[in-house]
Every structure is written in C-alpha cells, then in structure tokens.
A and B are shown apart, each in its own frame.
Chain A
Amino acid sequence: DAKTTQPPSMDCAEGRAANLPCNHSTISGNEYVYWYRQIHSQGPQYIIHGLKNNETNEMASLIITEDRKSSTLILPHATLRDTAVYYCIVRVLNEGSQGNLIFGKGTKLSVKP
C-alpha cells in the first residue's frame, strides 16, 4: 500500500475554505485515495474517495493531481464542527477484495471562530 504524508496540524477560520493536502508519491494505478475524519471520541467518518478524477459530494471536494502523486481535500465553508483529525488513505478496496484501512497520524484541523 502506498504511504501517505500529511501535515500534522492546520488552522482554518470559520467560514473559509479548508484545504488539506496529502502526498502519496508511490501510489499505484489501481489504488484509490480515501479521506476520513475523526471527531474527538467518535469513530472515523467516511468523507470522499477518488481514483483519477476530481470528486465532489455534499461534504467536500477531492482534487487529485494529474500524476496522482498528491491530492487535496477541500471543505468549502469550514464550521467549528469540522474540527477533527483528517486521514488520507491510499488503498485498493475493490469488490470482494480483502480490505483494511491503514491509518497514519492524519492532520488535526482546528477551525477557529
């Protein structure tokens, strides 16, 4: 599995966009980029995933570079409730395959009023 590198912490002002970077320079062609977040004392929450194309859902946008060696998770209008640890995970999770998530240390995002 490809290793990911994330900054340990970031701050963001409430109402502004939060851009969380992730480097995954050894990603292979069939590996997806997944983002999860964990709010204190809760289980991780799935946010979004992508393979090559940029993706958007009701929670966030995922921008993957053309060479797929890095990606950025964008929370368009951060709120205090977005304060959490954000994990970028690269993994093959195809149908029927063995699947486990390998969590690194993630980025602790603090949204400030």
Chain B
Amino acid sequence: KAGVTQTPRYLIKTRGQQVTLSCSPISGHRSVSWYQQTPGQGLQFLFEYFSETQRNKGNFPGRFSGRQFSNSRSEMNVSTLELGDSALYLCASRHGTGQGVAGYTFGSGTRLTVV
C-alpha cells in the first residue's frame, strides 16, 4: 500500500514569506504528526492531529500552525519565515485507534531552505 506522501520534496523561500507543506497519510490512518529536523536540534515534535483536531503540540512559536482535513490529509504552515526555519520537515502517520501501540510511518520529508 502507498506510504506517507509529502509534497513538495524541496522548497526554497525568502525570509518573511510563508509556506504550506502537505502530507497525505497512509490510507486508514487518522493520526498525523509533524516533526522538524535540523542539524543542531535534531528531530523535534511540532504537533499531532487526530480526526481533524490538534491533540498535542510541541514547543514552537505560533508562526507554526497546522490543520487536518476530513480525509486525514494534513497541512502545516509557517508564516514570516526566518533563516532558522530551514530544515527537513517530516510527517508521520499511525492508525490512532484499534492497533493500540502501532509505530509511526514517516514520509520522506520536505526540505525547506530559507534564504
């Protein structure tokens, strides 16, 4: 079955702009999480959505936001981009219910470069 799909794969933006990243989870997965990976901070949790509701949020400024649609697809948005937002943004999905403690499946990520 298809994995987690993230688009676009690469993105270059200018400081001050905003960006929207997209994630399509595995079919049937209702939980979608977002992570940021940088060389300095490693992998850091941004937020998790389940059934269109944000149910957990990491320690990031309000410039980082997300949403989930009724088909479980998710988007994250970063406004007023800063150079430090350059990172690999990863999306992960899991079933959320029924399978209990099933692990996450990650996408290949979107590499954002802010110039």
Interface positions of A (Cβ within 8 A of B): 32, 34, 36, 41-46, 49, 87, 93-96, 98-105
Tell me, in angstroms, the Cα distance from A49 to B106 when the chains sit together: 16
B106's contact among A34, A43, A95, A102, by CB below 8 Å, is which? A43
- CA A101 to CA B43, docked complex, whole Å: 9
Question: Interface SS of chain B: helix, strand, loop or mixed?
Answer: strand
Interface size bucket, B side?
A: 20 to 34
Q: Is the CB of A99 within 8 A of B56?
A: yes
State whether A93 and B101 are in contact (beta carbons under 8 Å apart), knowing that A100-B56, A103-B42 are contacts in the complex: yes
The reply to whether the CB of B90 lies closer than 8 angstroms to some CB of chain A is yes
For residue B46, which residue of chain A has the nearest CB?
A100
CB-contact partner of B103 in A34, A42, A96, A98, under 8 A: A34
Question: Which residues of chain A have C-beta atoms less than 8 A from B44's C-beta?
Answer: 103
13 inter-chain pairs at a CB distance below 8 angstroms, sorted by A residue, are A41-B88, A43-B4, A43-B106, A44-B43, A44-B92, A49-B101, A94-B101, A95-B100, A96-B96, A98-B56, A99-B33, A100-B33, A105-B42
**A/B pair count, beta carbons within 8 Å:** 63
B contact residues vs A (CB 8 Å cutoff) = 4, 31, 33, 35, 42-45, 48, 55-56, 58, 88, 90, 92, 94, 96-101, 103-109
Assess whether B97 is in contact with A95, with CB atoms less than 8 Å apart: yes
* Chain B residues, Cβ within 8 Å of A102: 45
Q: Give the residues in chain B near A98, CB-CB below 8 Å.
A: 48, 55-56
